[in-house]
Chains A and B, each alone.
Chain A
Amino acid sequence: MNSFYIKRTARSVLTLWLVITMTFGMIRLLPGGPLVRLRAQLTRQGVDPSEIDGIIESYQNLRPDQPLYVQYYDYVTSLLLGDMGQSFRYGEPVAVIVGDALPWTVFVMVTATVLMYALGVLWGAIMAYKEGSTFDSVSSALSILGSTVPFYVFAIVLVIVFGFQLGWLPTRGRTGVGIQDPYTVAFAVDVLRHAILPIMSIIVTQVGLQALAMRGNSIQLLGEDYVRVARLRGLADSRIATRYVARNAILPMYTGFLTLIGFNIGGSVILEEVFTYPGIGYYMFKALEARDYPLIMGVFLVITSVLVVALFVADLTYSKIDPRVQSGDSSEAY
């Protein structure tokens, strides 16, 4: 069992290292890549050629005159120290921008994903229990219909309806203007009012597939022998539903849950642009628009790290939740 933990940790580290190397490669090696463009941009702006190298170094932690392995070493070590270079567009260190934005994105996406999962599990379980009824067919149709809309398209609809036409909710920003003091009720309400539409658009467009997955799992379990035996033993329906069926039906969805948090944080690039919500996705979009490579790569690395950690936690905790899982290699090699 211990070797599983070691292997799993090693794989996470390997993944991060590969992604860092990839971003380095993209920045440094691609013809017409960021470094070349930056140099051209600075030359166009009439910057003295002798100063260009120094400027590039401060932006990207690269010393173009050094051999490649030295540049690589510099890049990796400065990343490990939390220095991700400086944003062209905002003129601030990338780490500061990301540090300010990340909590908001995590707040929105984790809340949305957790609520979506809870609703999906509940809805799917009820559907499975009433299998074949009108409720079941209508719900199945609704779940499919919800999944045909990309979340950002639904987000646009929400902005139009609740933001502009009805005017009930704010359409941009994380908090209102003038509300500064955290730890007040007004502040909390304001934050929620800004976050509710992004959260809604994730829930409505994703809950359907989760509900269908839960429904499928539950129906399969309802036919299992041990559930039949539990019925014959005369156990209460509620006990069978929660202890015997729900627990086992949720199990396969658990890994998907943590992965989905990571994926949704990746999806924040589109979502936060629609709502002009300054989280990391919003900054990544702005950086993409301005070809602000240090910021792009910084946000990309941070989002990747979040996903890597989420998957790591999922794998490590799964065997705790489901003791049947044996982590082992496939037996014989052919």
Chain B
Amino acid sequence: MEVTTSERLRDFYEEFIYKPGLVAWSDWRTRIGFLIALVYVLMGTVGVMFYRLPNSNQSPRSVRPFQTLEAPLGTTGSGVDVLAMIIHATPPMLLMILSGGLFATTFAVVVGTVAGYKGGSVDRGLTTFADIAMSVPGLPLIMVLAIVFNPTNPALIGILITVNYWAGLARAIRSQILTLREESYVEASRTMGVSTMRILIKDIIPNIMPYVLVNFANAARYVVFASVGLYYLGILPTSVRNWGIQLDQAYRNAGALTGAGTLYQLVFPMLAIMLIALALILLAQGMDRVFNPRVRTRMAGESKSADSDDGDDVSVTEVLN
């Protein structure tokens, strides 16, 4: 029964990447969401290499959008290319999303599965921990931490933003584990004396992976909204480029609000935020539909309204939706 590493890797790819990917792709939401997300990834990797850095007076001042090819989305009052600002804010944003999403979901999975599976005093301890983390208001906590630590590393900012976001997810995962732990195959592993660690990794966690992926997308959206908000308020140091800083400048300096014809400086970063949020929502909703067994059986036949179900676990306790 020896399996080589490459075989195991191929199995893993088949089971966890290829098959779910195929199912996910069959839903139009996931497809559109994925394509939009891909545009952002390209913008953040290839785009930054080919498009110039934003600088003041790099172009004539206050150029309207769609006037010159030099600055397609116009320039600000100090001659900064709006498109350059948007493109070069993408890499730190992607880093934040990745680190925040990974931190929140990993931590939630560890706490949720261990609490749910072990039960007893371990469960009580971890649940109390999660409950306490849940009852500290997210945004004010992040703000206090942000001014105390003054973080400039995007990956660190991502973690800071999700510092207590994991708690709600951990509770949800725990309650799913409570039913999983009584499954016969888990029981079989237990009687065979398989270690808890191995049971969790082999038998339990694969079952909740789809749910975790959906929540990764939700956490990512939360990171986008919160980070833009913090940069908009000027609470995080402005050394990192962010769409929120653009919003703030447009709102404050350019007089976008008094109808001076500079509304475009506000609209484009706004679109950047909305589109990435749209991609993440579509991914979450699409994946939920595909992975949700209840929905999957409906897709297989019997129900005539198969393609109009959104699943019922749309998170109702989000801060920044």
Contacts and interface: CB of A to CB of B under 8 A. Distances in A.
Contacts of A284: 140, 143
A251 interface: no
A219 B312 CA distance: 9
A23 B321 CA distance: 28
Given A131-B305, A217-B312, A308 B135 contact: yes
A147 to B, nearest CB: 5
Interface in A154-207: 156-157, 159-160, 163-165, 205-206
Contacts of B141: 300
A164 B261 CA distance: 13
B320 A150 contact: yes
8 contacts: A147-B277, A150-B277, A156-B266, A205-B321, A216-B312, A267-B139, A270-B232, A330-B123
A288 interface: yes
B144 A152 contact: no
B11 interface: no
A33 interface: yes
B39 to A, nearest CB: 15
B61 interface: no
Given A209-B316, A209-B321, A11 B132 contact: yes
Which 8 A-B residue pairs are closest in the complex by CB-CB distance? A333-B120, A216-B312, A266-B137, A256-B316, A148-B277, A333-B119, A132-B305, A150-B225
A80 B86 CA distance: 48
Contact of A148 (B120, B140, B278): B278
Interface residues of A, number: 76
Listed residue (B137, B282, B317) with the most chain A CB atoms within 10 angstroms of its CB:
B137
A276 interface: no
Listed residue (A215, A257, A285, A333) with the most chain B CB atoms within 10 angstroms of its CB:
A333
A40 interface: no
Interface stretch (B1-9, B14-22, B49-57, B251-259): B251-259
Contacts of B198: none
Nearest to B276: A148
A152 B232 contact: yes
Contacts of B155: none
